[in-house]
Amino acid sequence: MVQVPTVRTDADGSGADIAATCEGVPIVTAAGVEAVSALRDAGVEPTTYFAPGEVAADAASRGLDAVVVATQDTIGRVTDALTDASVSYDVAK
């Protein structure tokens, strides 16, 4: 998981870090408008922006790596889905 700043914080995320994290990963999901924008700024098109936690959990159950990009406001919903599916995860900022 990659955490990006919300619009309210007026902070600038690092597109290079996001691009490097997503490189070679078959499933890239985005939770929220800020996440989609951060991915596109990094030159990465998300695989989906619907049910990112559930999609990442399903990918993990099939042996696929996944990256979820989310804001602090949305990260809880994503981690809940991953925890419910007994999927381990790391959060990078």
pLDDT in tens, 8-40: 655 555 566 899 999 999 999 999 999 999 999
Residue 65 is assigned to a structural domain of this protein: yes
Residue 90 is assigned to a structural domain of this protein: no
Q: Which domain holds residue 49?
A: 2-84
93 band by pLDDT with thresholds 50, 70 and 90: confident
Residue 77 is assigned to a structural domain of this protein: yes
Q: What is the mean pLDDT of the chain?
A: 89
Distance CA 40, CA 34 (A): 10
Q: Which helix (H) or strand (E) holds 41?
A: helix 33-41
Residue 11 is assigned to a structural domain of this protein: yes
Residue 93 is assigned to a structural domain of this protein: no
Report DSSP state, residue 42.
Answer: T
Counting DSSP H helices and E strands in the chain, the numbers are 4, 3
Tokens of 40: 């596109």
Residue 91 is assigned to a structural domain of this protein: no
Residue 32 is assigned to a structural domain of this protein: yes
**How many domains are there within the chain?**
1
Residue 89 is assigned to a structural domain of this protein: no
50 band by pLDDT with thresholds 50, 70 and 90: very high
6 band by pLDDT with thresholds 50, 70 and 90: confident
What are the residues facing 69 on neighbouring strands?
Answer: 2, 30
